[in-house]
Chain A
Amino acid sequence: MAQRIALHPILGVPEKGRPVKFTFDGKTLEGYEGEPIAVALKANGVMVHRYTKKGHQPRGIFCAIGRCTDCVMVVDGEPNIRTCITPLKEGMKVETQYGVSPLPFEEQGCPSGKKGDGDETV
């Protein structure tokens, strides 16, 4: 599980908002208000943010500055939210994104991904 930095030799104690609860795929997790959703997930050991539509390949944080769209998830029902630059709020509902849906591929009626064709973004 990823570690939060408690004390940094140059930066000291990282500034954080108040602790808030949010859900990830139905599980209640804790993070700090205002930090990127992706950081709160990382702190809870979540690596996979989504699976690609065609190849069903896993994707997670890649650029962490909102450019690459690899880390998009379904947040409060809305897909394609860039979690690396979207601040965490109390009670947020964060879901793994399958293609562009929070429903696993089996429930979308497309159980098997085409392997080796995993470079599409959403």
Chain B
Amino acid sequence: MKRYDLIVVGAGPSGLSAAVEAAKRGMRVVVFDENEKPGGQLFKQIHKFFGSKEHKARIRGFRIGQQLLKEASDVGVTVILSATVIGMYQDKELVVRIGDEIHHVKGDSILIATGASENMVPFEGWTLPGVIGAGAAQTMINLHGILPGKRVLMLGTGNVGLVVSFQLLQCGCEMAALVDAAPKIGGYGVHASKLARTGVPFYLSHTIKKVEGTDHVTGVTIAQVDSKYQFIPGTEKHFDVDTVCVAVGLSPMSQLLKMAGCKMVDDPKKGGQVPVCDERGQTSIPGVFAAGDVAGIEEASSAMIEGRMAGVAAAEYLGFMEEAACSREEDELTKDLDCLRQGMFAPKNKGKKIDKTEEGIPLSNTLLTKGYLADDEVEAFPGFTHRVGVHPVIECTQNIPCNPCQDVCPKECISIGDNLTALPVVVENAACIDCGMCVASCSGQAIFLVDEDKGDGTAEVTIPYEFLPLPEKGTEGYALGRDGRKLCPATVSRVRTAKAFDSTNLLSMRVPREFAMKARFFKSGNAADAAGEVAG
């Protein structure tokens, strides 16, 4: 039987991070993963991450995955793929299926970093081909380059539902609607707003009644639900779609830990059955650790820190590291992790009713129910300012731990301060040079550069743009409001792309002055139609 200092189960963000830390300290580490490729779900994450520099904020998930793999190979971590760990027994013995063979291995320490699996809700027609998990959609489009369908309805408005919907739009799918039985959008408002401004409707307090089709999906009917989640007759709405995506949460895949006899607990805030762990991720069995989603559903950034923590803790447990050095490392990592676990969406605030920001500003109710900030709500936020000349307008209205906008501005126009969850403020007398770094770096695509008066009756609005085809300078079209409605004619005045923008293009459009603070998206097409619609 092969023996290792540390066996890691799962080569996702937390597993790989742990393996790196352990290998750095001279431990003999092996990582098993049942998939064909390492990285877990990181390689499907094409959006820019939130957080601060320490959390690799504003870097796209798949690039973080590439960095992590390189780091792992540099320190000599062995990753064995297509290897399914099917059992964990006494004395840290694991049974692994590799191809057609069963192997027994033993670890002096073990980290379970198996992640999570998607939850499902049954409804009439849910087994029809064309009903898929949101993860499946993400796998198809971002790993395999194929669209799951042409027109999609998304069930679930947590961050997974929101992010995957946007990714579906990006690769050319049409989003018919986002639907959630809850009365409020579950994920970040900024993610919802990216969808709403393109014209995607949200239906909160609605769920799927029936998916139609004989051997594949041809349509879906949703209906409103009351406060007890019962359908309200007469509220049915039908959509012609060929795909229904389900994003209704994740559950920890903690079976191995349970099997090994770790003390488990049912914790709804953590997404289901999780092991009882100490602050470094050690379970009730000394030397057996858990990190990442398996220990409680969060996201990749915190999973990576938890992984590093478990790697360090395993090194100390086996004497590869002095206790003092270990606690120094742990203090650093704990600090990073605590930073991420703040704000409205922190695990500790799950299920809590919050109606004001930390600054005491009432939250936008329209944002929570329709996905966009109403024109009269947005004025209350500190990033939403009127200035002479070009200036950033920041429509970031929920306390999320994130600060790249403050970091990237060369003129220090934007201030968040030391509290990572504070809403960004546009500094008084800021000398904005229109570089666009804040627009491109905002992971929530919530920053716009606005020159409210170009002197000729028009205003220039610069928006982040991550779609194809990229309109060229001079393209005529119309501007859409935050709510995705056609607002006014617009002409593309500039299109900027740069390596530093990392695939986020900056599209500037000229709109009539009065729409400077309302125009937030551009579509090419007949402007006359747009004007007609506004007039009508």
| A interface list, Cβ under 8 A from B | 2-5, 7-11, 14, 16, 35-36, 39, 42-43, 47-49, 57-68, 70, 84-85, 87, 118-119
| Contact pick for B34, options A48, A57, A58, A66, CB 8 Å | A66
Interface string of B138-173 (1 = CB under 8 A from A): 011110111111100000000000000000001110
Q: How far is the CA of A64 from the CA of B171 in the complex (A)?
A: 18
B133 touches A64 (CB 8 A): yes
Nearest 4 interchain pairs by C-beta: A60-B129, A14-B145, A64-B136, A47-B216
Greatest chain B CB density within 10 A among A16, A65, A66 is at A65
Is A3 in contact with B150, judged by CB distance below 8 angstroms?
yes
The reply to whether B136 and A62 form a contact with Cβ atoms under 8 Å apart is yes
Instruction: Given A9-B503, A87-B36, answer yes or no on A64-B140 (Cβ-Cβ < 8 Å).
Output: yes
Cβ–Cβ contact A58 & B215, under 8 A: yes
Complex contact A43–B146 (CB within 8 A): yes
Bound Cα distance A2, B243 (Å): 11
Interface residues of B (CB under 8 A from A): 34-36, 46, 60, 62, 117-118, 127-133, 135-137, 139-142, 144-150, 170-172, 215-216, 466-468, 470, 503
The 18 sampled A-B contact pairs (Cβ below 8 Å) are A4-B147, A5-B171, A9-B467, A11-B142, A42-B140, A47-B215, A48-B216, A59-B127, A60-B129, A61-B129, A61-B140, A62-B131, A63-B133, A64-B137, A64-B139, A64-B140, A68-B133, A85-B36
Q: How far is the CA of A64 from the CA of B62 in the complex (A)?
A: 18
Are the CB atoms of A58 and B142 closer together than 8 Å?
no
A62 CB, min distance to chain B CBs, angstroms: 6
* Chain B residues in 8 Å Cβ range of A8: 141, 145, 170-171, 468
Known interface pairs A8-B171, A49-B129; A39-B144 also in contact (CB < 8 Å):
yes
Taking CB atoms, residues of chain A closer than 8 Å to B127 are 57, 59, 70, 118-119
Cβ contact within 8 Å between B146 and A67: no
Please measure, in the bound complex, the distance between the C-alpha atom of A70 and the C-alpha atom of B130, giving whole angstroms: 12
* Complex-state Cα separation, A47 to B171, whole angstroms: 20
Known contacts A3-B172, A47-B129, A48-B216: A63-B136 contact under CB 8 Å: yes
Chain A residues with CB under 8 Å of B145's CB are 4-5, 8, 11, 14, 16
Known: A47-B215, A48-B215, A87-B36. A63 touches B144 (CB 8 A): no
Q: A58-B215, A87-B36 given as contacts; is B147 within 8 A of A2 (CB)? A: yes
A57 to chain B, nearest CB (A): 6
Instruction: Given A3-B172, A5-B172, A48-B216, decide whether A10 and B129 contact each other with a Cβ distance below 8 A.
Output: no
Q: Which residue of B lies closest to A57 (CB)?
A: B127
The contact of B146 among A42, A68, A87, by CB within 8 Å, is A42
